């Protein structure tokens, strides 16, 4: 890759500067969602906190649009902007574990796979996302939901402190004792308040072997399975994390070929306790009805965390709609069964996370993550191959919107901020937080970024 450290005059910058015409420009501007095609003026690939500070000051001085890239996974593509500067942390992926203190320092460009790998070497883990190639930064700053959340809380509930470069280019530490207002806002308020260069997380003993994996049933059984599941998870121990997946059976090597792409409902499971207790906890679920295939078994936690990575690779085209659900009523189950398999692309699916447990026990105003009382959170993920026709793309998008519309009468009028797509109206941002948390976020924004330099995100305007 051709590089220049000086052509854009970022004083004190020691990382890579990548601009149009350089051989790596197209790779560097690509994000996970292949529909996003933005052309930044400069990509500042930072090597450390000082580079981030220099890039922020440069962007401000030059009056450039500023985008911040962690893992590059946000479906709305907010990690890249047109004709501005991308502050790219993808070269900052170090994870430093303190096994005795059960904490980890994680750089702002790390992926969850990096964290799982380093922490599981010590039999430890913290709540992260369910796909290993998702970025730690964006996911954590929006809240962070995953297999371990019911036992160990959201990612933000495990955040002890963060190193942040503010809109002024100053480096500060945010924790319960230092800049507590900023620390509160970072735990759910997204990338609005500065660039996080390092996260300090609490870790917990997990695995290394856990009882985990999916059970699949035929799509025709969806309503029956969901009704059983609703009652099954109502009494589930906190250790049990489950995610429903509705779509076709993914063509993974661990699944027999004759099932690939067959419409099916799966309950993905991960028991964050002993394998023996996990076996007992999952007994009834695994014996329900006639599963197509049961892949639950003792599994290394680190393998479970990356087991679905290939089902959502970089570069495919994606479009998301999402909502929290007030309850998994019979009516909601009927809507889900009616819509989930009506998409045309075999790569499209919907996923429903079971919340509650430790997530719901944290007081609602303790962090900026809104809606802790929600029990089920559904995301409708249209996915198709880039080479497919514009007509298929339009059909998949229409399917996702129609599915969401059908759920609306039973929805919570609330949503997880990290699941919002680029065409979701700004009113949905308020839905994500509720009025009180949104008002507080706007106040913190006014203090730390009054001119809204960090607005290429799910933007909270300075109040």
Ligand X SMILES: Cc1cc2nc3c(=O)[nH]c(=O)nc-3n(C[C@H](O)[C@H](O)[C@H](O)COP(=O)(O)OP(=O)(O)OC[C@H]3O[C@@H](n4cnc5c(N)ncnc54)[C@H](O)[C@@H]3O)c2cc1C
Q: With binding defined as CB under 6 A, does residue 189 bind ligand X?
A: no
* Smallest distance from ligand X to CB 382, Å: 13
HSE, side-chain direction, 13 A CA sphere, residue 85: 25
291/317 with CB nearer ligand X: 317
Q: With binding defined as CB under 6 A, does residue 377 bind ligand X?
A: no
Q: Is the CB of residue 89 less than 8 Å from the CB of residue 46?
A: yes
Q: Is the CB of residue 397 less than 8 Å from the CB of residue 33?
A: no
Pairing mode, strands 66-69 and 85-88: parallel
Q: With binding defined as CB under 6 A, does residue 166 bind ligand X?
A: no
Q: Return the residue of 146, 153, 188, 411 that touches ligand X, per CB under 6 A.
A: 146
Q: With binding defined as CB under 6 A, does residue 196 bind ligand X?
A: yes
Q: With binding defined as CB under 6 A, does residue 81 bind ligand X?
A: no
* Smallest distance from ligand X to CB 381, Å: 8
Strand order through the sheet with 171-175 = 95-98, 103-107, 195-202, 159-165, 171-175
Label residue 63 left, alpha or beta by phi (over 0 means left) and psi (-120 to 50 means alpha): left
Q: Which of 382, 418, 370, 383 is nearest to 146 (CA)?
A: 418
Q: With binding defined as CB under 6 A, does residue 74 bind ligand X?
A: yes
Q: With binding defined as CB under 6 A, does residue 304 bind ligand X?
A: no
- The span of 39-47, 123-131, 270-278, 435-443 binding ligand X (CB under 6 A) equals 123-131
Footprint of ligand X on 400-429 (CB under 6 A):
418
Q: With binding defined as CB under 6 A, does residue 139 bind ligand X?
A: yes
Q: Return the residue of 18, 285, 312, 437 that touches ligand X, per CB under 6 A.
A: 312
- The span of 9-17, 67-75, 216-224, 288-296 binding ligand X (CB under 6 A) equals 67-75
Q: With binding defined as CB under 6 A, does residue 383 bind ligand X?
A: no
Pairing mode, strands 204-205 and 240-248: unpaired
Q: With binding defined as CB under 6 A, does residue 89 bind ligand X?
A: yes
Q: Which of 256, 237, 241 is nearest to 211 (CA)?
A: 241
Q: With binding defined as CB under 6 A, does residue 357 bind ligand X?
A: no
220/310 with CB nearer ligand X: 310
CB under 8 Å to 106, separation ≥6 — which residues? 94, 95, 96, 114, 115, 136, 198, 199, 200, 201
What is the Cα–Cα distance from 302 to 167, expressed in whole angstroms?
36
* Smallest distance from ligand X to CB 436, Å: 22
Q: Return the residue of 120, 134, 198, 299 that touches ligand X, per CB under 6 A.
A: 134
Q: Is the CB of residue 150 less than 8 Å from the CB of residue 86?
A: no
Q: Is the CB of residue 445 less than 8 Å from the CB of residue 458?
A: no
Q: With binding defined as CB under 6 A, does residue 265 bind ligand X?
A: no
Q: With binding defined as CB under 6 A, does residue 108 bind ligand X?
A: yes
> Which positions lie near ligand X, rule CB under 6 A?
31-32, 68-75, 78-79, 89, 108, 129-131, 134-135, 137-139, 141-142, 144-146, 190-191, 195-196, 312, 418, 456-457
């Amino acid at each position: 890759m051709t590089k220049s450290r000086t052509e854009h005059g970022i004083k004190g910058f020691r990382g890579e500067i990548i601009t149009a015409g350089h051989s790596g420009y197209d790779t560097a501007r690509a994000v996970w969602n292949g529909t996003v095609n933005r052309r930044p003026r400069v990509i500042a690939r930072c090597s450390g906190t000082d580079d981030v500070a220099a890039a922020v000051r440069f962007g401000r001085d030059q009056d450039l649009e500023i985008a911040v890239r962690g893992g590059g996974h946000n479906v709305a593509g907010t990690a890249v902007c047109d004709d501005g500067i991308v502050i790219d942390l993808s070269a900052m992926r170090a994870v430093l574990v303190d096994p005795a203190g059960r904490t980890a320092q994680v750089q702002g460009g790390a992926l969850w796979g990096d964290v799982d790998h380093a922490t599981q070497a010590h039999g430890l883990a913290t709540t992260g996302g369910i796909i290993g190639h998702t970025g730690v930064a964006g996911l954590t700053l929006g809240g962070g939901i995953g297999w371990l959340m019911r036992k160990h809380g959201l990612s933000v509930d495990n955040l002890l402190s963060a190193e942040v470069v503010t809109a002024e280019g100053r480096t500060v530490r945010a924790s319960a004792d230092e800049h507590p207002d900023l620390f509160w806002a970072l735990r759910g308020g997204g990338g609005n308040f500065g660039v996080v260069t390092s996260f300090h997380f609490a870790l917990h003993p997990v695995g290394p072997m856990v009882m985990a994996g999916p059970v699949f049933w035929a799509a025709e059984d969806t309503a029956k399975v969901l009704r059983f599941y609703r009652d099954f998870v109502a009494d589930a121990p906190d250790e049990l994390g489950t995610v429903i997946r509705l779509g076709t059976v993914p063509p993974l090597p661990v699944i027999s070929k004759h099932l690939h792409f067959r419409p099916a409902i799966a309950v993905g499971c991960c028991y964050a306790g002993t394998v023996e207790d996990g076996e007992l906890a999952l007994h009834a679920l695994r014996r329900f009805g006639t599963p197509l295939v049961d892949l639950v078994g003792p599994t290394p936690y680190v393998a479970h965390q990356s087991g679905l990575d290939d089902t959502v690779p970089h570069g495919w085209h994606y479009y998301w709609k999402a909502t929290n659900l007030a309850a998994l009523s019979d009516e909601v189950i009927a809507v889900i069964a009616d819509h989930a398999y009506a998409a045309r692309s075999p790569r499209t699916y919907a996923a429903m996370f079971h919340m509650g447990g430790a997530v719901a026990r944290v007081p609602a105003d303790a962090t900026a993550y809104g809606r802790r009382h929600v029990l089920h959170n559904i995301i409708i993920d249209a996915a198709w191959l880039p080479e497919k026709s514009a007509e298929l793309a339009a059909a998949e998008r229409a399917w996702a919107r129609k599915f969401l519309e059908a759920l609306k009468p039973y929805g919570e009028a609330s949503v997880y901020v990290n699941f919002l797509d680029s065409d979701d109206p700004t009113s949905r941002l308020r839905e994500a937080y509720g009025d009180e948390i949104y008002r507080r976020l706007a106040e913190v924004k006014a203090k730390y970024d009054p001119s809204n330099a960090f607005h290429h995100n799910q933007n909270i305007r300075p109040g």
